[in-house]
Structure 1
Amino acid sequence: MNVVDVDEKEIYGISVRTTNANEMNPETAKIGKTWQKFDREVPVNYQAGERVYGVYYDYQSDANGEFQVLAGTESRNDSLEKVTILKGKYLVFESQAKSADDKARIQAVIETWGRVWDYFSLDDSEYKRAYKTDFEHYKNETAINIYISVM
């Protein structure tokens, strides 16, 4: 993990409001369904360099409150919702899926979010979450980085 400065970036996609508690229950989970809808409805030209993002924003409070999630891409599309990844310092958690299939990518994301939760649950962690914008960056079929805004 390392800290990087990220410039402001606009992402276009499909969003949903949820909580971490809701996401732990298959009957109330919304994020997976939002990604499925994005995959069905939003074309992404990977060959031309387009990449996919999962943006977490509009936090009610902290990890226990409501937040918004947008599955999207950088390609401007006025028929989709838009969110701005805020300029600032981000702690980057790098991940590599074992293969390019959906199951392996999902597992890599889950494991990486586990590392995020573990790090920020430490009382003596060097960085504290800012709860501004956080995002998953799907760099290619297997490389996934999670950026967490920090103070």
Structure 2
Amino acid sequence: MEVKTFTSRQFVGITTRTNNHYEQTEADGKIAQLWQKFYHNYTSLIEDQATLYGIYSHYESDQHGDYNVTVACDSPGLLERVDNDNALQICRFSGGRYLSFAAQGEMPQTAIRLWELVWRYFEQSDCPHQRAFGQDIEIYHQSNEVEIAISIL
């Protein structure tokens, strides 16, 4: 893991609201359904080398409260559809100071295991970083490589 500074950016994607309690069960989980909907409806509009993102924002409180999840991309083909598709929206990523974790492997299992590592890290009593609960981001650099960047104070 390493501390990084990200610049603000703009993405286009679809959003849902959920919490970690719902995500513990396959029946209630909304994140997997959101990714499936995104792939089903929008992959034909995305260039082959485009990067996909999962943006976590609008935290109600902390990791136990509700939050928004946006599956997004910065693809021009997707941006062109925003005005004609009510599900798509422009998402502004504010950037800032982040603690970045990365892993490679089969998705989504690798991303799930990486999130578990993130939670364990921040639960440590002597953790040197504090989560800001601003915006967190998953960056899918390749189909088998994910980076999770957590906003920190």
Q: TM-score, normalised by structure 1?
A: 0.91
Residues 47, 75 of structure 2: 8 Å contact kept? no
- Could you tell me how far apart the structure 1 residues matched to 2:32 and 2:90 are? 19
- The gaps in structure 1 that reach 5 residues or longer are 98-103
- The gaps in structure 2 that reach 5 residues or longer are none
Residue 25 of structure 1 pairs with residue 25 of structure 2: yes
The one-letter code sitting in structure 2 at the alignment partner of 1:89 is R
Q: TM-score, normalised by structure 2?
A: 0.90
How far residue 4 of structure 1 moved from its aligned partner, in angstroms, is 0.4
Count of aligned pairs: 143
1:1-151 equivalent positions in 2, closer than 5 A: 1-43=1-43, 44-46=46-48, 49-76=49-76, 77=79, 78=82, 79=85, 80-97=88-105, 104-151=106-153
- Could you tell me how far apart the structure 2 residues matched to 1:25 and 1:8 are? 33
Deviations 1:71-120 (A, max 9, x none): 110125223112111121010001101xxxxxx21110011001100100
The one-letter code sitting in structure 1 at the alignment partner of 2:12 is Y
- Could you tell me how far apart the structure 2 residues matched to 1:119 and 1:64 are? 16
Question: Identity rate of aligned residues, in percent?
Answer: 31
Deviations 1:23-80 (A, max 9, x none): 012221111000000001112212xx31100000010110011000001101252231
